[in-house]
Amino acid sequence: MSYRRSPLMEERLANNRERILLATRKLVSEGGFREAQISAVATVAGISTGMIYRYFPSKADLFVEVLGAAVDQEIKILTQAAAGHEPAGERLGKTVTCFVRRALKGPNLAYAFIAEPVDPEVDTARLRCRKKFGDVFKAILVEGMQKGELPEQDPDASAACIVGAFTEALVGPIGPTTRNTQDKERLVASIQSFCIRAVGGAP
């Protein structure tokens, strides 16, 4: 035999994979999944289209991985924001604000992800992700109800409503098009108040 992967080569391969993921992430965060065609990903990553298929079985698989990684990162941050010993209403407010601010700062994938059109395979993954986001809020609600800080309510429904509320407020018709910082902060505050009142967590 006269070829064996050297550590150097190994590294370059891993590098390629990373480049593909990064390129996809960049394209998606700029123009959504729609703009992330294989050829575009290849161009941005500086490789050929064929290469992509040495690392990912299909475009759907690539998307699912990018989606998963971005969401996991976001969930981690969100979970930290949700931690603490303040009353549930306050914690909810902090968490919502955290998400919304990050989304407004963009290019951040999470919110594009939870709202965007894709093919069925990726869609399944997207639903799972929305559920994950919901679970962060659900945990706050359950604890708040246990402590008697929040009125009784269906935590699954309320959590879904919260995710839906800020998603729509962010990517919907009134979403961030050409807004200045002040407007953005006002939007953040409005969404936060809405969600806190919604779960009965107003002081």
Partner DNA sequence: TAAAAAATTGAATATAAATTCATTAATTGA
Partner DNA sequence: TCAATTAATGAATTTATATTCAATTTTTTA
Nearer to its own copies, 21 or 188 (CB): 188
The Cα 179–Cα 188 span in angstroms is 12
Nearer to its own copies, 83 or 174 (CB): 174
The binder of DNA chosen from 14, 30, 31, 37 (CB under 7 A): 37
Give the CA distances from residue 62 to residues 23, 42, 127, 144, in Å, rounded to whole numbers and listed in that order.
11, 12, 17, 38
Nearer to its own copies, 11 or 154 (CB): 154
Task: Name the DSSP letter for residue 150.
Answer: S
Choose among DNA, its own copies, none what residue 39 binds, the Cβ cut-off being 5 to 8 Å by kind.
Answer: DNA
The binder of DNA chosen from 14, 18, 30, 54 (CB under 7 A): 54
**In 3D, which of 58, 56, 61, 137 has the Cα closest to residue 99?**
137
Asked if residue 22 binds DNA (CB under 7 A), the reply is no
CB of 51 to its own copies, least distance (A): 28
In this structure, how many other beta carbons lie within 10 angstroms of the beta carbon of residue 30?
A: 13
Helix (H, G, I), strand (E, B) or coil at 201: coil
Asked if residue 8 binds DNA (CB under 7 A), the reply is yes
Binding segment for DNA (CB under 7 A), chosen from 53-61, 93-101, 146-154, 193-201, is 53-61
Helix (H, G, I), strand (E, B) or coil at 87: coil
Binding segment for DNA (CB under 7 A), chosen from 37-45, 68-76, 95-103, 185-193, is 37-45
**In 3D, which of 58, 83, 99 has the Cα closest to residue 139?**
83
Using CB under 8 A, list all residues that contact its own copies. Answer: 34, 116-118, 120, 123, 127-128, 130-131, 134, 151, 153-154, 156-158, 160-169, 172-175, 186-187, 190-191, 193-195, 197-200, 202
Nearer to its own copies, 90 or 116 (CB): 116
Asked if residue 50 binds DNA (CB under 7 A), the reply is yes
The Cα 199–Cα 140 span in angstroms is 10
**Which residues make Cβ contacts (< 8 Å) with residue 54, sequence separation at least 6?**
none
Angle, helices 7-31 vs 38-45, to 10°: value is: 120
Residues in contact with DNA by the rule CB under 7 A: 1-6, 8-9, 12-13, 16, 37-39, 47-51, 53-54, 58-60
